[in-house]
């Protein structure tokens, strides 16, 4: 298997081909991307791994996907843990590129298509909406603590501006979703489940486009709701959840809180867990996991919610 690792920085791309040991660097601009594709295409790699770097990797990933190279975007924390496991403490861009290539070669991460331009725009709008809400919450907390009238007025003006921006973002998201027949149908199917409102449905459409295409275990793992076992010898710890897409997991937790009260099936499910002595948080996580399984099946079968 031939794996390529690409370390992305602001101005350049460091590239390493494993196991051949080929290494080179190009600029992170149009000319450099063209050179990158020209040099990689004849090598016919099985995997081209790019580390997620907070946005710098986006244009690189788009160029590689456009050239039909087998692209995968990898988690930098996983690559770093892998490097530590193989005893590589040094950290430079060429070394990081080599580690990414070795990581991809050894773990063989699954290839997934990049979201199209419209889906990426929707995801960006949903993320921006989340950021604005966080800013509003922070300002309201400051408002409660403020004692100086001048400061209170400043905070009030900022909150008003943020709330106005939130209305505009919501309108743009609504226009985008309701204006697309495919997204509109998806939203209607998801929102047919009691406990799932438009915000949760649109978050799932934007940030979990795989919903309805994977099996229940894989979709739960992507949402960060798949428990993993902690056991060593005679000791057995509590199973934990983690990883996955944090924004999706948060949205599902909110939906699970509502569904556990108003969705008859999930309410009965939570009550059974409570009677069995399960802690409240464990029961809520189980409800969220069952909810994503239901939503996955609804999109897969293209059938709205049926309590039976």
Q: What is the pLDDT of residues 278-307, one digit of tens each?
A: 888 889 989 999 999 999 999 999 999 887
Does one domain contain both 18 and 88? yes
Does one domain contain both 288 and 215? yes
Does one domain contain both 155 and 237? no
pLDDT confidence bin for 229, thresholds 50/70/90: low
Does one domain contain both 263 and 240? yes
Tell me the pLDDT of the chain averaged across its residues. Answer: 86
Give the whole-angstrom CA distance, residue 39 versus residue 57. 18
Q: Is 24 a domain residue?
A: yes
Average pLDDT value for residue range 246-258: 90
pLDDT confidence bin for 239, thresholds 50/70/90: low
Among 74, 107, 140, the domain boundary falls at 107
Beta bridge partners of 50: 6, 73
Residue 161 has pLDDT above 90, yes or no: yes
Residue 51 has pLDDT above 90, yes or no: no
Among 80, 107, 134, the domain boundary falls at 107
Q: What is the per-residue pLDDT for 180?
A: 81
Q: Give the domain extent around 93.
A: 3-107
Residue 66 has pLDDT above 80, yes or no: no
Does one domain contain both 18 and 66? yes
Residue 232 has pLDDT above 60, yes or no: no
What pTM value is reported for the model? 0.69
- φ/ψ of 8, rounded to 5, equals -100, 125
Q: What is the per-residue pLDDT for 272?
A: 93
Does one domain contain both 46 and 127? no
Q: What is the per-residue pLDDT for 169?
A: 92
Among 89, 107, 125, the domain boundary falls at 107
Average pLDDT value for residue range 169-182: 87
Average pLDDT value for residue range 48-70: 80
Residue 227 has pLDDT above 80, yes or no: no
């Amino acid at each position: 298997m031939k794996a390529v690792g690409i370390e992305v920085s602001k101005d350049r791309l460091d590239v390493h081909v494993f196991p051949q040991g080929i290494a080179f660097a190009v600029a992170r601009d149009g000319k450099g991307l063209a050179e990158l594709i020209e040099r990689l295409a004849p090598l016919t790699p099985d995997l081209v791994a790019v580390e997620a770097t907070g946005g710098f990797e986006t244009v690189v990933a788009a160029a590689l996907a456009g050239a039909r190279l087998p692209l995968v975007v990898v988690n930098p924390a996983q690559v770093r843990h892998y490097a530590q496991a193989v005893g590589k403490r040094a950290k430079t861009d060429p070394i990081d590129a080599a580690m990414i290539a070795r990581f991809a070669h050894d773990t063989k991460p699954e290839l997934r298509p990049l979201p199209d331009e419209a889906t990426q725009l929707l995801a960006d709008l949903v993320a921006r909406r989340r950021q604005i809400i966080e800013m509003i919450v922070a300002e309201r907390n400051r408002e409660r603590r403020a004692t100086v009238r001048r400061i209170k007025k400043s905070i009030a003006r900022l909150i008003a501006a943020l709330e106005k921006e939130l209305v505009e973002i919501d309108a743009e998201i609504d226009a985008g979703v309701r204006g697309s027949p495919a997204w509109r149908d998806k939203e209607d199917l998801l929102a047919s489940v009691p406990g799932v409102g438009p915000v949760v449905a649109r978050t799932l459409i934007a940030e979990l486009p795989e919903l309805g295409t994977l099996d229940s275990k894989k979709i739960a793992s992507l949402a960060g709701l798949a428990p993993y076992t902690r056991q060593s010898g005679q000791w057995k710890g509590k199973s934990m959840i983690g990883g996955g897409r944090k924004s999706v997991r948060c949205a599902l937790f909110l939906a699970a809180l509502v569904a556990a009260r108003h969705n008859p099936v999930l309410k009965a499910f939570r009550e059974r867990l409570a009677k069995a002595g399960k802690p409240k948080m464990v029961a809520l996580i189980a409800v969220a996991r069952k909810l994503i399984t239901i939503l996955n099946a609804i999109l897969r079968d293209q059938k709205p919610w049926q309590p039976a």
